[in-house]
Amino acid sequence: QQQVKQSPQSLIVQKGGIPIINCAYENTAFDYFPWYQQFPGKGPALLIAIRPDVSEKKEGRFTISFNKSAKQFSLHIMDSQPGDSATYFCAAQGRGYGANNLFFGTGTRLTVIP
């Protein structure tokens, strides 16, 4: 059972565009929602994270929007660059069983065309 559902599977945008990646979850025990970026041949690297007490968080060109009532969150990349081409994973972590591990989405392969 996929704890975190992610879409789209792949995304192609022009340089300067604003790709948006969406994730949804069901487990209300989740209280930490990070996004990881992964380049080919490398492990995932933390990009930005949010907790459900805020609806938005910005770090540089990356923004997370969080909708607690809908149990959805999304990543927006402003002014996207070819160097942003990578696979992006949303994840969730919470209390109780699995409190020490992240549940990852299936990933979105982003391609930014110059």
Structure token digits, residue 67? 């909708």
98 binds other proteins (CB under 8 A): yes
Is the CB of residue 38 less than 8 Å from the CB of residue 87? yes
Instruction: Tell me how crowded residue 95 is: count the other CB atoms within 10 A of its CB.
Output: 12
CA dist 55 and 38 (Å) reads: 25
- Pick out residues in 10-49 that bind other proteins (CB under 8 A): 31-32, 34, 41-46, 49
Kindly tell me which residue out of 12, 18, 29, 99 binds other proteins, with binding defined by CB under 8 A: 99
Interface ranges with other proteins (CB under 8 A): 4, 6, 31-32, 34, 41-46, 49, 89, 91, 93, 98-107
